[in-house]
Structure formats: structure tokens, C-alpha cells
Structure 1
Amino acid sequence: MTLPIFPVQLFRPKAVNARPVVSTISGGTSLSGIEDVIATDGGGRWVVEYSDIQLRTPEQLRAWSAWAGYLAGGTIECLVPIVSLATGPRQFAWDGPTRVSKLVADDPVFPQSVTYSIPQIKAVLAADTPLRGTSVAIDLISRGEITGGEKFSIAGNGFRVVRETAPGVYLVTPPARQALAEGADVNFDWPVVRCRLQPNFDMEAAINMGRFMSPSITFVESPPVGGI
């Protein structure tokens, strides 16, 4: 089953905060006063927050209500855009990055495909990545440079580049949620992460004057296969 992609381009949030979050606990303090810190979630999970949203048209209000029904309080999965093209390894023309083309979706409310009409960044996996792998080999086909901090996705798995460890090989977080095969598309243009609505999050806000709504929404990465 192909999951729908949350249509952030329809709702146009002014603020997007998409990042891997690591849960930790204290392992106790040694006699020398050094405190150990232990990660409890296998390397972190994605949290995506969209805020400062202004819904002003009937189409936007209907779509938001439809998605509130679809997400069912966080029990149903979808793909959620990271919205990170601005920091991706984009091609440059003269003294600035190439102009971004129009986004194209196969459905205005519940799309299963969202792309730029002219792709910005082309890349594929240069080698297999195992389950829980944190080292990813990328063949960047388009002109550009990966320097660290870029975000991308492969088959609904979101990654953030930490640094290059060998030519074309990068340390990433969080670990891969599944084994990924050489040649798989690496999506820097419109990366998406498999998520659910944050539990107990009420995404519906009051409609002002019967016409306007100013909601926000928070997604968390779905529990990965294998419990990492």
C-alpha cells in the first residue's frame, strides 16, 4: 500500500522544524563525578512540526478537516515532507542556486507523488545500506556538494548527514529503518518520512469568524520495524 503524502504545500506553514530527536537517560554518576548518558531509542526518531499556518480558503479548511479525519488521532501512518531543499546539495548557476520549479502533485489533498517539475538534485545509493546502518554511500549525479547537515530520504526513511567519512560515504542519523539496496533513489528535493500524528495531539483549531483557522501540527516517526 502506498501511503499518502501530507500536502504541506497546500497549507503553507511559515515555520517548519524537522529533525531527529534522541531520547536519553542518565546512566548514573561515577565516583569521579562523570555522568554517563545512554540513548534509549536506538539512535533517535524524526519529529516534524509545522506551525504558523493560516488557512484562509474553503479548500484549505476542507482539506485540513479531511486530514484530521484520516490521521485518526495518530493511529494511521502517512508520509511527511521534511521541506529541506534550501539546505540540500543544489546546483549553482552563476552566483546562486538554480531556480526552483513548480511542485507537481498527483492529487491536491491526498497525493501519493509530489515532485518538482524540473528535478533539482539527482542522487542514488552507491552501495547497499544494511538495517540499522549509519554509513550511507551516495552517488550525487547532479552538480553540487554534500558537506554535512543536509537532509534526505530513501523509501520513507529520513536521514540527516553528519559528515563525510570517505569519498562519497557519509555518517548519518538516525540509523536506517530497513535494508536499502544499491541504486535506490536518494531524495533531496522533497524528502518524506513515514510518520503518525503525535499521540493526543489535537490538530483542529477554532475557526475565526467562520472563515479562518490558525492551526499547527506535529508528526512523529512511526515505530520502526524491529523496534530500533
Structure 2
Amino acid sequence: MALRILHLCQFHFETQDIRVVGSEVDGGTSLSGITDVVQTDGGGYWQADFGDADFGGRDEDERAETLAWRALNAGLAGGQAAVVRFCDRWHQPVGDLATVPHSDDAPFSDDTLYASAGAPARVLAVVNGQLGGLNATILDIALASERPLIGGEKAGYIGANGWRERVLEISSVEDIPGGKRITFQPPIRGGIAVGDPLDFDDPRCVMRRTSAPTNALSMGLWSSASISFVEDMRDPTL
């Protein structure tokens, strides 16, 4: 069944906090005075908080925004999963959203233009992890980007075995012959293989709502809302 795709930018959130979180346990202090810390969550998971939305009003398009917000919350009831677009283009290795003509300044025959190249990428090798790329945290990739890859960027991929849309966050980048070696968090969900594409243009992740729904109205028209998500880690094969 197709999941709802959430493009939250339409609600004009003033703040967003999308990050990988985890659980760590203090393993105690050794005789040498060193404290061991053990991560118990398998490498972390995505959490996203959006706050201070501003939408609604008297116009038809503003009314439609309010109704879209209500429909979104209704569709997430009962722990339903959805695909959340991360909308973090300014920090990706891509240029501005724009359309560009052909080299002779002419558009297509129907007068439409096409989008700039972005950052097409694919997996060259799975460096670590388990069979099929499960839980990998290091990949060799081929990348043709409009901005240099320096670490901190996010890339989307389709997790194997039903794990659908997932996102990785790069912690380090190393030049290798013919591409880049990236280290990232959280580990690959489901698996990944040589030749699989990585999406730096529009990373998106299967998540579920963790906050109570909000639908506050000012003077019956203007909305102020917030919403929180956590990566949906329910095993899709069960």
C-alpha cells in the first residue's frame, strides 16, 4: 500500500530539528579511570520536530492549507506511517532549485524547461555491514554534484526487504579512485547493493507521528501548529 508523502514546507514552520538520536548506557568506570559508554539502539534512528507553523486565512488557498493540515493529522492517526520529506536543500551538494534551457537557450518543443542536474549518485561498493549491505555504515559511491561533498549532508535510499525510503547522514568523506568513500549514520536499513541510487536532492524517510495532534485556530482562521516524528522501525517483513 502506498504511504502518504508529507511535504511540510507548505505549513511554513519557523523551526525544524531533524537529527539522529540514540540511547547510550554508562558502562561504569574502569580501574584506569576510563568510562565506557555503550550504545544500545543499534546505531541510532531519525527524529524530527517541526514547530511554530503559520498558515490559514480567508482566501481559498489559505483555507486549503488548514484543511490539508487536518487531513494530514487524520491520516497519521493510530500510528500510521508516512514518508516525510526532509526539505534541507540548502545543506545538500546541489544548486538552487531552478530550470535551465538547452545550451542554445531554447526550451523543449512544448516551451517547458528542465531542472538542473542536482547530484546523481550510486553505490560503487558496500564496505562493511552484514550480508546484503544490512547495517552498513561505510559505502563507496560515484557522485556528480553541483557542490562539493564535505560531510553533514543527507542522502536518501530505498532500504531492501520492504524498508522503503530511508535517509543516511554523512559523518566523513574520503576521496577514492572514481568516487568517494562515505561514513554515515544511522546504519543501512534492510540492505543496499552495488548500483543502488542515492538521492541527495530530496531525501525522505518513513516515519510516524509521536506528538499529539494540534489544530489551534486564532479568530477561527489562522493556525499555529507543531508536529513531531520518529523513524518507523517496525519490521516490514512481519
Q: Which of 126, 150, 154 pairs up with 1:147?
A: 150
Name the structure 1 match of 2:120.
Answer: 122
In structure 2, relative to structure 1, the CA distance for the partners of 1:49 and 1:171 (3 Å cut) is same
State the percentage of identical aligned residues: 31
Partner of 2:222: 212
Q: AA paired with 1:13?
A: F
Q: Indicate the residue corresponding to 1:108 in structure 2.
A: none
Could you say which structure has the higher strand fraction? 2
1:134 aligned onto 2:137: yes
* Count of residue correspondences: 203
Correspondence for 1:158: 167
How many Å separate the matches in 1 of 2:234 and 2:185? 14
Structure 2: give runs of 5+ residues left out of the alignment. 57-61, 100-113, 127-131, 159-164
Residues in 1 aligned to 2:182 and 2:21: alpha-carbon distance in whole angstroms: 19
Deviations 1:10-46 (A, max 9, x none): 2121222111112111112223332211111000000
Give the equivalent residue in structure 2 for 1:93.
Answer: none
Alignment equivalent of 2:190, drawn from 175, 178, 184: 178
Q: Which residue of 1 aligns with 2:66?
A: 61
Instruction: Give TM-score scaled by structure 1 length.
Output: 0.81
Q: Report the counterpart of residue 9 of structure 2 in structure 1.
A: 9
Would the aligned equivalents of 1:134 and 1:171 in 2 still touch at CA under 8 Å? yes
Give the C-alpha shift of residue 221 in structure 1: 0.4
Unaligned segments of structure 1, at least 5 residues = 91-97, 103-115
Q: Distance in 1 between matches of 2:142 and 2:226?
A: 36
1:68 alignment partner, SS class: helix
Query: 1 CA distance for matches of 2:11 and 2:54?
Result: 7
Change (3 A) 1:40 1:159: same
Secondary structure of 1:38's aligned partner = strand
Indicate the residue corresponding to 1:77 in structure 2: 81
Aligned to 2:97: 100
Aligned-residue Cα RMSD (Å) equals 2.1
Kindly name which structure, 1 or 2, has the bigger radius of gyration based on alpha carbons.
2
Distance 1:217 1:125 in 2: 34
CA contact (8 A) 2:16 2:51 kept: yes
Return the TM-score normalized by structure 2. Answer: 0.78
Whether the aligned pair in 1 keeps the contact of 2:4 and 2:83 (CA below 8 Å) is yes
* Distance of 2:146 and 2:115 partners within structure 1: 18
Mapped contact 1:52–1:215 kept (Cα < 8 A): yes
Q: Contact between 1:119 and 1:189, CA under 8 Å: does it hold in 2? A: no
